[in-house]
């Protein structure tokens, strides 16, 4: 599975403290190895974010992604629960 990052995701990522960037990188790597790992709390979203999936980076930080096709996942948004929902 190939990964891509939206311009918005990259901008939000750059605003994070370096320690949070590292945490984000670790969690995305874990997701690549095991997308069903319980600590990631991956789940599909509904409502106006239908089609997106949420990945838990930390207690309140989330990464939202979607499947562009069978071979490409796009990480689209990164932020706290209140910022994203």
41-83 pLDDT, tens digit each? 999 999 999 999 999 999 899 999 999 999 999 999 999 999 9
Q: Of 70, 59, 65, which is closest to residue 28 (Cα–Cα)?
A: 65
Name the CATH code of domain 2-84 (choices 3.40.50.300, 3.40.80.10, 3.40.50.2300, 3.30.2310.20): 3.30.2310.20
> Pick the residue with more confidence: 1 or 6?
6
d(CA 14, CA 38): 27
Mean pLDDT of 20-28: 97
pTM of the model: 0.94
């Amino acid at each position: 599975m190939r990964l891509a990052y939206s311009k918005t995701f990259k901008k939000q990522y750059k605003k994070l403290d370096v320690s949070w960037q590292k945490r984000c990188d670790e969690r995305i790597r874990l997701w690549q190895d095991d997308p069903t790992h319980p600590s990631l709390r991956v789940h599909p979203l509904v409502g106006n974010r239908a089609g997106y999936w949420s990945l838990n980076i930390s207690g309140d930080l989330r990464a939202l992604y979607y499947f562009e096709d069978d071979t490409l996942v796009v990480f689209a948004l990164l932020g706290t629960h209140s910022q994203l929902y």
